Amino acid sequence: MTEAAADIADLAGTARRDLPEVLADLRRLVEHETPSSDKELLDAGLDDIEEWLAERLGPPASRVRHGGGAHGDVLELGYPGTGAGTVLLLCHYDTVWPRGTIREWPVTVDGDRFSGPGCFDMKAGIVQGVWALRALRELGLPAPAVRILLNGDEEIGSPASRAHIERAGAEADLTLVLEPSRAGKVKTGRKGMGLFDVTATGIESHAGLDPEAGASAVHALAALVPQITALAAPERGTTVNVGVFAGGTARNVVAGRASCEVDVRVQDPAEQDRVDAGLAALAPPDGRVKVEVTGEWNRPPMNPGPATGRVFALAAGVARDLGGELGQISVGGASDGNLVAALGKPVLDGLGAAGSGPHSRDEHVLISATPHQIALVAGVLTRFARS
């Protein structure tokens, strides 16, 4: 066994030994709820995470907490390295679960499954990243300078944190996103996401006494939905979903207003212009109805380039020394990694927990895979510091 392979084996052994404490830390973070829409809980949760980080890693060399306004604050912590380079560990601490979920669905350990709201997406990733740094310190292995960025608005599109993420990503040599893995595979590609609202404004009238005086916004928008969904091009990686449709005031009123919420995912950046043009060209069959499209492209596509390929090769080498093969995958979901990848910087995403069920009551972390994931992150960090 080479010295480099022995170092990885030592990291794996350390992570296995530390597993009970890792799970205790994960329980602590999960039991402190942090819904994206609850500023009070987000602030308290971030306070607790910062206190826990100080307990596990000691005081950081640098600290900045950016106010998030109505959204969760952004915490940036810097830790000096003993090797080359600077790596950004990108994590979000908000979850999709509302206040009180932990009472209905408490943390449960059942065999190999650790379950609880937000455990997989993505509080386990935060915990694993911290224990990876601890393992490097304990074993005296080279580590790059590390910046940890924690944001509390990822699940709602990162409106308050985007600028901070892009700045931190531009300053780093490599970004590791500790979002959940996909069946143990890292995510080197993600689709870009557009969030749009289409609103139709018609003319109200009595549906029985004077129907022809009205111009139904509901009827008009219903006719436009097929035009909207026809913008999908699965062969080019573009999907379109109308997820919410609402309108009208009463059964016997010709509707004066209707709206729908549209989710668009694209892999090819050029598709954004085509979809924009298609939405701008929407024309209702009744010219008396006015249509307005609002919204924006929330995140650009994340497509791997040569730099990401080189870093993936490094990570794959670590995985082989851990006794397995590391797969890579492109997924439809977006993350904050999209924002950094759009800057042309290398990004490895999905280095967090192994498990399943994000955003569902089946959300869980596989306990047996957790030491491997910790050792994988630690191994990538130390080999990057040496490269």
* Active site amino acids: 94, 154
Contacts of 241 (CB under 8 A, 6+ apart): 229, 262, 263, 264
Terminal-residue alpha carbon distance, the chain: 20
d(CA 45, CA 35) in angstroms, rounded, equals 10
d(CA 271, CA 293) in angstroms, rounded, equals 17
d(CA 135, CA 380) in angstroms, rounded, equals 13
Contact 220, 288 (CB under 8 A): no
Assigned token pair, 116: 């609880």
Assigned token pair, 179: 């979002």
Length reported for the chain? 387
Q: Write down the residue that tokens 């066994």 correspond to.
A: 1
For the CA atoms of the chain, what is the radius of gyration?
A: 24
Cis geometry, peptide bond prior to residue 122 (ω within 30 degrees of 0): yes
289: closest CA among 242, 195, 224, 210?
Answer: 224
On the 0-12 / 13-18 / 19+ scale of CB atoms within 10 A, 224 is buried
DSSP per position, 133-195: HHHHHHHT----EEEEEEES-GGGT-TTTHHHHHHHHHH-SEEEE-SPPBTTBEEEEE-EEEE
Parallel, antiparallel, or unpaired for β 86-92 and 145-151? Answer: parallel
Contact 253, 207 (CB under 8 A): yes
